[in-house]
């Protein structure tokens, strides 16, 4: 049974388009967001609806548009890199793919980042990273994942997502969230797995921070503990940076933020600033375990995707994007904590760089906050995604956001959230 279309007052164009969408497109394609913005234009850190509503973008798409929308330098360089190239180069070699691969490896400054596997989406990149480890160690079936992670919905990526799995070879360890367990607690979990499956564990996969679970950011010692255990037992450490790479945590790569060197790093989303592209960078012995055709697909490493990667790297270098992220992180932290002091329904603020979780008192309040932020002051609103894990709003504006744009957004939320009663 179809749910009724989302409708908003004074949005005749948007309401009509939402109804058309519901008739033509399956409900399962989208995650629920109370506003369901119908976007007409996007530029910089702002969005405009088809009915003329202007909003500050606190989503970057879904942590994709790290350089903002219609970034002039990115768009110009993207066209230059892609000029004359076919849209697909299956079983051909486009020079831009080689350039993107070499530059991506160089930018990581990780001696374990030796070769690249391209993919068309983050979950495909996860799948290929896991394939590489499984092919490298064919006698080891056991895969370890941290509870609460999100790596994808399909295949092996889906098997290691969440807290349980139908795959009998998946085992789980804890990730620091609300608890305050000491390092020995996590070490004991790992050691118990090594004892239960001697010589049979092939990989350990985790995220830098738990995004979909509600934005939980662990202490620095946690990932270092995982890496030390993996090195001791010759287990491939896969770091899922699909939503965390390219400046989001205040360093170019999240593994740099946490002071580790994973065996395989999976990147996506911001990697191409909106062009569908993902990549696995890691040890050559792991990646070369996959032979001809074992990781191929129609769109991976296509010239347009690789052109976007090169253009993104250029803009990061020329405009010092990561420096801006670190500077704006201080403004963001101050602004979100000021909101928490003002509104008792905000229970917690947590994050780093320009990715934060604002935890509300309950699911209904979180949804109402998204909707009231959308309505804003009438002239200006703030665009959020639907709440994570029921009651957590993710705050992830483009990394090019300015202090004045953040202050403008906070002023809108000050007004809009006065209409919310917990």
- CATH number of the domain bearing residue 46: 3.90.1150.10
| Tokens describing residue 351 | 């994050």
Same domain, 104 and 232: yes
Same domain, 395 and 348: yes
Same domain, 296 and 355: no
The answer to the question of residue 2 being in a domain is no
Q: What is the pTM of this model?
A: 0.97
Q: Write down the pLDDT at residue 5.
A: 85
The answer to the question of residue 1 being in a domain is no
Q: Write down the pLDDT at residue 181.
A: 95
Same domain, 285 and 343: no
Q: Write down the pLDDT at residue 369.
A: 98
Q: Write down the pLDDT at residue 421.
A: 82
Q: Write down the pLDDT at residue 161.
A: 98
Burial of 30 (0-12, 13-18, 19+ CB in 10 A): exposed
CA 153, 158, 162: angle at the middle one, nearest 5? 100
Same domain, 115 and 197: yes
Same domain, 341 and 414: yes
Number of domains the chain is built from? 2
Same domain, 144 and 253: yes
The beta-strand segments (E) located in 109-193 are 115-119, 142-146, 170-173
CA distance 115 to 279: 10
The answer to the question of residue 5 being in a domain is no
Same domain, 142 and 114: yes
3-class SS of residue 237: strand
Last residue of a domain, one of 267, 301, 335: 301
The answer to the question of residue 236 being in a domain is yes
The answer to the question of residue 83 being in a domain is no
Across the 422 residues of the chain, what is the mean pLDDT of every consecutive 10-residue run? 84 97 94 96 98 98 97 98 95 96 98 98 98 98 98 97 97 94 98 98 98 96 98 98 97 98 98 97 98 95 98 98 98 98 98 98 98 96 96 98 98 98 74
Same domain, 174 and 278: yes
CA distance 399 to 323: 9
The answer to the question of residue 80 being in a domain is no
- Domain at 138, CATH number: 3.40.640.10
**Range of the structural domain that residue 279 is part of:** 88-301
Q: Write down the pLDDT at residue 3.
A: 77
Same domain, 255 and 140: yes
Same domain, 207 and 345: no
Same domain, 217 and 274: yes
Query: Torsions phi, psi of 51, nearest 5?
Result: -100, 10
The answer to the question of residue 26 being in a domain is yes
Q: Write down the pLDDT at residue 422.
A: 66
The answer to the question of residue 309 being in a domain is no
Sheet of 142-146, strand order: 115-119, 278-282, 264-267, 236-241, 201-206, 142-146, 170-173
């Amino acid at each position: 049974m179809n749910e009724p279309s989302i409708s908003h007052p004074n949005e005749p164009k948007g309401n009509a388009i939402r109804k058309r969408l519901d008739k033509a497109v399956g409900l399962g394609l989208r995650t629920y967001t109370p506003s369901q913005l119908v976007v007409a234009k996007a530029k910089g850190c702002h969005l405009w609806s088809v009915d003329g509503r202007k909003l500050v973008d606190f989503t970057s798409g879904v942590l994709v548009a790290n350089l903002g929308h219609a970034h002039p330098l990115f768009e110009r360089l993207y066209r230059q890199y892609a000029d004359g190239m076919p849209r697909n180069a299956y079983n051909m070699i486009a020079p831009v793919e080689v350039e993107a691969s070499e530059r991506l490896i160089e930018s990581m400054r990780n001696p374990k980042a030796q070769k690249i596997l391209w993919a068309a989406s983050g979950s495909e990149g996860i799948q290929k990273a896991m394939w590489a480890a499984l092919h490298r160690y064919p006698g080891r079936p056991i895969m370890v994942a941290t509870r609460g992670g999100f790596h994808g919905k399909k295949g092996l990526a889906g098997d290691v997502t969440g807290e349980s799995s139908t795959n009998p070879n998946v085992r789980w360890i804890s990730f620091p969230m609300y608890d305050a367990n000491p390092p020995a607690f996590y070490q004991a979990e790992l050691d118990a797995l090594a004892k239960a499956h001697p010589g049979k564990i092939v990989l350990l996969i985790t995220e830098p921070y738990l995004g979909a679970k509600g934005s939980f950011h662990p202490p620095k010692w946690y990932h270092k503990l995982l890496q030390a255990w993996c090195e001791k037992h010759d287990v491939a450490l896969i770091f899922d940076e699909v939503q965390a790479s390219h400046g989001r945590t205040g360093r170019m790569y999240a593994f740099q933020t946490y002071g580790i060197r994973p065996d395989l790093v999976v990147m996506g989303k911001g990697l191409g600033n909106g062009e569908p592209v993902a990549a696995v960078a890691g040890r050559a012995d792991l990646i070369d375990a996959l032979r001809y055709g074992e990781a191929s697909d129609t769109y991976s490493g296509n010239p347009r995707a690789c052109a976007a990667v090169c253009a993104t790297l250029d803009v990061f270098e020329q405009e010092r994007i990561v420096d801006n992220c670190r500077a704006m992180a201080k403004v963001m932290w101050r602004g979100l904590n000021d909101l928490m002091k003002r509104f008792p329904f905000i229970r917690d603020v947590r994050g780093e760089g320009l990715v934060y979780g604002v935890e509300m008192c309950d699911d209904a309040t979180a949804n109402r906050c998204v909707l009231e932020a959308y309505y804003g002051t009438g002239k200006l609103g703030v665009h959020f995604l639907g709440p994570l894990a029921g009651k957590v709003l993710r705050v992830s504006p483009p990394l090019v956001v300015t202090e004045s744009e953040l202050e403008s957004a906070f002023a809108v939320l000050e007004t809009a959230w006065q209409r919310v009663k917990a």
